[in-house]
Structure 1
């Protein structure tokens, strides 16, 4: 299990979510249904954009899988943390 810290100035949390879902499903990210079918990617990015001490957690379902995004930059799909190697 790997985890990385989100660089709020260079990383897009919505892109990290897509990568995590692709990793969890063994699917090329370009073959996934658009994230905006289930959550607004821009709103998600804005919510996690500011580097505050406020704890934020968002959960939503994507193609039958539970996706959780935490304020520390952790992205979990069905309880498994996914990050860049």
Structure 2
């Protein structure tokens, strides 16, 4: 399992997802299948544009990309599991 926090990296959720998958698969982010093959990256960014521990937003989204289950939390945590 790999977990990355969007708040600590100060990047978009879609970039954090790709980087978390890259870390879990020991690949470069450029080698990860494009996220848009599974989910609309812009929509994902809009859903979680105010993430972080200070956010009042609640909820999460889970989807499968590159054979990994990806969960994005309103807290800004991105978790990748096999």
Output the TM-score relative to the length of structure 2: 0.81
Structure 1 vs Structure 2 CA RMSD: 2.1
Gaps of 5+ in 2: none
**Count of residue correspondences:** 77
Is the 2:4–2:20 Cα contact (8 Å) retained in structure 1? Answer: no
The structural deviation recorded for 1:3 is 4.9
- Larger helix proportion of the pair: 2
Output the TM-score relative to the length of structure 1: 0.79
Is the 2:22–2:28 Cα contact (8 Å) retained in structure 1? Answer: yes
Distance 1:2 1:37 in 2: 22
Structure 1 runs (4+) deviating above 3 angstroms are 1-5
The structural deviation recorded for 1:32 is 1.1
The answer for the alignment partner of 1:21 in structure 2 is 21
The SS at the match of 2:70 is strand
The correspondence of residues 46-61 of structure 1 with structure 2, limited to 5 A, is 46-50=46-50, 52-61=55-64
